[in-house]
Amino acid sequence: MRYRTLGRRGPEVSVIGFGAMTLATGIYADVAEDEAAEALRAAVDAGVTFVDTADIYGPGASERLVGRVLGPRRDGIVLATKFGGDHDEEGRLVRGLGRPGYVRRALEASLTRLGTDHVDLYYLHRLDPTTPVEDTVGALAEQVAAGKIGHIGLSEVSAATLRRAHAVHPITAVQSEYSLLTRDPEDGVLAACAELGVGFVAYSPLGRGLLGGAVRSREDMGGGDWRRGNPRFQGDNLTRNVTLADTLATLAAGQDVTAAQLALAWLLRKGAFPIPGTRRAAKARANAAAADLDLPAAVFEELEARIPRDAVAGPQGDRNYLTNIDR
């Protein structure tokens, strides 16, 4: 494993983290808690020190599991969680979750579930359209001063919003979906992060299971799987995207690495901190091992030539999902 500073002012973290969304039932498929705990321990045993969760995963179940499993190892973990991403039954963002009073309540609830007195990185999960981001970041800054938050993060925000927030208090990290299949951060957010000294954290770095080969047909997704409603996992879009995953797998085999490892190495080359999630201990170890790969530049050039930015079929989410992303 390799380690570097998250942004200009952040903590030192493993360059590959662990995203704990998949450890909770209700998002992709049912989860066996013992299996989930084993995957999380395997990642940490492999050198991962950067663990990311959120209050809506479960809801709350992921935070409780992370707190229980990593409690004895808390001092060696950079722990991140998020607030403000709650949705109604139609998938619309709940309004008002960026207000200062809610920030304080959400933080206290997360600390209780995590079994800790502070969180190292606390993100606003989605921009609250009813609250100026300056007010939300001001409330977060108060919690930094109180010692309950180490660093402030934002998720799925535009470069303009990042600059407004950063003017109130330094932002340590921005987290957005970024992978070979989702390249939107290249439109300005990555450049803004580099300019301001903000670390960029890539969630769903394996295309929600597509790039690693976990999903090849609708039969690979259970009845309650969130992806069944995602345009990229439907009909001809899914067929096209599986073909792209096959291209990645072929290139990876030529380097004697897995498709997931090559996809993660591509993100590391871009300067991102990917946080892949998995419920399998073996995959957690394999993902962590991608940090130590030393592949020729020509491999990445061929990868981008064969899977260009506009290759993916379908948007990253439905209309409600996209409405909640600050562009």
From CA 138, how far away is CA 136, in angstroms rounded?
5
Partners of 179 in the β-ladder? 182
Strand-by-strand arrangement of the 273-274 sheet: 18-19, 50-52, 78-83, 119-124, 149-155, 173-177, 199-203, 273-274
Q: Which residue in the list 28, 57, 203, 321 is annotated as catalytic?
A: 57
Mapping DSSP to helix (H, G, I), strand (E, B) and coil, where does residue 127 land? coil
Q: List, as one string, the DSSP characters of 250-289.
A: HHHHHTTS-HHHHHHHHHHHTT-EE----S-HHHHHHHHH
* Neighbour tally for 25: CB within 10 Å: 17
| C-alpha distance across the termini of the chain, in Å | 33
Q: Would residue 57 show up in a list of annotated catalytic residues for this protein?
A: yes
* Neighbour tally for 89: CB within 10 Å: 5
Catalytic residue numbers read 57
